Amino acid sequence: MIEKRGDSCGIAYINVSSVTHAMRGQKVLSANGIKSRIKRNTKKDHSVGCGYVLSVSSKDIVRAEQILMENGIKVAAPAKKGGEFI
Amino acid sequence: MIYLDNSATTNPKPQSVINASDNALRMSANPGRSGHSLSSAAAKKVYDTRCEAAEFFGVENEENVIFTPSCTFSLNTAIKSLMKNGGHAVVSELEHNAVIRPLEHLKDRGVTYTKAKVYIGDDDKTIDSFRSSINKDTRAIICTHASNVFGIRLPVERICALAHIYGIPFVLDAAQSAGIAGINMADGYDIVCIAPHKGLYAPMGTGLMLLSGDISPDTLVEGGTGSNSLSPTQPQEHPDKFESGTLNFPGIAGMYEGLRFVKSKGISRIFEHELRLLSILYQRLSKNPKIVLYTPFPKPESFVPVFSFNVKDKHSEQVSEYLQKNGIAVRAGLHCAPSAHEAFGTIDSGTVRISPSAFTRERDIERTAYVLSKI
């Protein structure tokens, strides 16, 4: 399940389990008109260790979440501001 | 040098492949490990290659395109997973040691296997042969698409369908066929193992394992994947599950261009070109009384462009040495497929194998025929 978190700039981060999933996620979102960026997650004590996040506009997060799930993109722990994990 | 050893690895590689590998070495960043721009660019190239291969072979989800160090590694992963609890496997009599040796290794776990006889040009009989080799303990059918020694093509779509009637997974060894024969995962293959440095013109040290959406073999090795690092256990998501350790990025970057090269030329065009050249050589050699041929004229429905011959009263290695002295590179011996040689009665002398590529010219073949006429 994807838990969405937004920061004050209106950017939300979705934690994905690998760089391949991040790239496939970006492609799927782009095909559906949603811009995203791939970033490394940054917090050292997050629940899974190294990984990647997809950053999307906060307004797109619900749709992005739905599209990723429909396309079988697996996500790990929920992400928040700056790509850090809660 | 006239290079006719393309079944071992294609030579030359297209310039685009050389350039891509060269650029990757210059870039020299580890894909999927870091967040800096070089690593991200490398990861993007790896992903693009995955997508290119998925499209090329009809893999529905690019995450089921797995990069391995070799086709042998892919086959070991498939075989050792499917046969881990013992049981029986069916293979063809033409298999490479990449299939036979893992099965032999598993014998102490109770694995047994049957070699199904192959009938050139009689697919019905070959299918019957596979059917009668299946028993109640059969856990997998593993089959080469085409013999790496004699070029004989097997009716793998039908063998795969047969396997599924019995609920048995089917593993395709496409080492000699990928790039010259159409392979589509939509035909129902469970696992396809590929040697991209052959018909896909990629650098050596590359391998592919294509998985259907319904299968997830056990890992052969575990380790760092750049993902889920806090967990001591291996990630189960594809492709990370199977890609521990640093990927061969220069090889994969070259593979991307190799796939595009084959796509731009067209598989059927490359196949027709190579088979035409082999047909010319076959006709020349069949008129030479010193030459021993083992297979009928290579018809496209029954052969890929690989064939073997011998010279009367000479060992295959002597013929290879003679050709080498005349500037022609071929492979002699058993070609890591003693089973195929047993089937053809060539185990003692081996054979001389000829395999052209998209770059082979008619005059290369004419020269080879001429040199052999003087032996």
**Domain assignment present for A2:** no
**Interchain contact, B61 vs A49, CB within 8 Å:** no
Which of the listed residues B248, B264, B280 is the one where a domain comes to its end? B264
| pLDDT at residue B130 tops 60 | yes
Task: Give CA–CA dist B163/B186, Å, rounded.
Answer: 15
**Domain assignment present for B254:** yes
Verify that B167 and B288 share a domain, yes or no.
no
| pLDDT at residue B30 tops 90 | yes
Task: Give CA–CA dist B59/B51, Å, rounded.
Answer: 9
Q: Which residue of A has its CA nearest to B213?
A: A72
Verify that B260 and B275 share a domain, yes or no.
no
Count each helix (H run) and each strand (E run) in chain B, helices first: 11, 13
Contacts of A50 in chain B (CB under 8 A): 33, 226-229
Q: Name the nearest CA neighbour of B375 among B340, B324, B332.
A: B324
- HSE (side-chain half, CA atoms, 13 Å) at B272: 5
On whether the CB atoms of residues B316 and B352 are closer than 8 A, the answer is: yes
What is the residue range of A61's domain? 11-83
Task: Give CA–CA dist A30/A23, Å, rounded.
Answer: 10
Residue B317 burial by Cβ neighbours in a 10 Å radius (0-12, 13-18, 19+): middle
Which of the listed residues B232, B247, B264 is the one where a domain comes to its end? B264
B201 to B18, B84, B267: CA distances (angstroms): 10, 33, 12
Q: What is the pLDDT of residue A43?
A: 62
**Domain assignment present for A1:** no
| pLDDT at residue A61 tops 60 | yes
Contacts of A48 in chain B (CB under 8 A): 227-231
DSSP H/E element including B262? helix B249-265
Verify that B277 and B249 share a domain, yes or no.
no
The enclosing domain of B201 has a CATH number of 3.40.640.10
**Range name among B6-15, B138-147, B204-213, B230-239 with the lowest pLDDT average:** B230-239
Number of domains comprising chain A: 1
- Give the ipTM: 0.82
The enclosing domain of A23 has a CATH number of 3.30.70.1530
Verify that B283 and B231 share a domain, yes or no.
no
B23 to A64, B11, B108, B209, B245: CA distances (angstroms): 35, 20, 46, 25, 21
Verify that B83 and B229 share a domain, yes or no.
yes
Verify that B133 and B272 share a domain, yes or no.
no
**Domain assignment present for B260:** yes
As beta bridge partners, residue B309 has: B293, B352
**Domain assignment present for B207:** yes
> From the list B62, B226, B237, which residue is nearest A74 (CB)?
B237
Three-state SS for B211? strand
Verify that B281 and B227 share a domain, yes or no.
no
Neighbours of B15 (CB within 10 A): 10
Number of domains comprising chain B: 2
Enumerate residues 240 to 259 of chain B having a beta carbon within 8 A of any beta carbon in chain A. Answer: 240
Average pLDDT for B222-242: 93
Task: Give CA–CA dist B83/A47, Å, rounded.
Answer: 35
Digit-coded pLDDT (tens) for A4-54: 455 556 898 898 988 999 999 999 999 999 999 999 887 654 566 778 899
The enclosing domain of B326 has a CATH number of 3.90.1150.10
Task: Give CA–CA dist A45/B371, Å, rounded.
Answer: 70
| Token code pair at residue B42 | 């490398």
DSSP H/E element including B90? strand B87-92
Enumerate residues 151 to 190 of chain B having a beta carbon within 8 A of any beta carbon in chain A. Answer: none
**Domain assignment present for B4:** no
Residue B107 burial by Cβ neighbours in a 10 Å radius (0-12, 13-18, 19+): exposed
Verify that B353 and B249 share a domain, yes or no.
no
Which of the listed residues B264, B280, B315 is the one where a domain comes to its end? B264
**Interchain contact, A19 vs B32, CB within 8 Å:** yes
**Domain assignment present for A41:** yes
**Domain assignment present for A38:** yes
| pLDDT at residue B335 tops 90 | yes
**Domain assignment present for A3:** no
**Domain assignment present for A37:** yes
Digit-coded pLDDT (tens) for B249-264: 999 999 999 999 999 9
On whether the CB atoms of residues B332 and B352 are closer than 8 A, the answer is: yes
Digit-coded pLDDT (tens) for B73-111: 999 999 999 999 999 999 999 999 999 999 999 999 999
Going by C-beta distance under 8 Å and a sequence separation of 6 or more, which residues neighbour residue B204? B9, B197, B251
Amino acid at site A85: F
What is the residue range of B38's domain? 15-264
**Interchain contact, B228 vs A76, CB within 8 Å:** yes
DSSP H/E element including B286? helix B267-286
| pLDDT at residue A1 tops 60 | no
Pick B177 or B226 by higher pLDDT.
B177
**Domain assignment present for B8:** no
Q: Please tell me the distance in Å from B65's CA to the nearest CA on chain A.
A: 11
> From the list B31, B231, B239, which residue is nearest A48 (CB)?
B231
**Domain assignment present for B1:** no
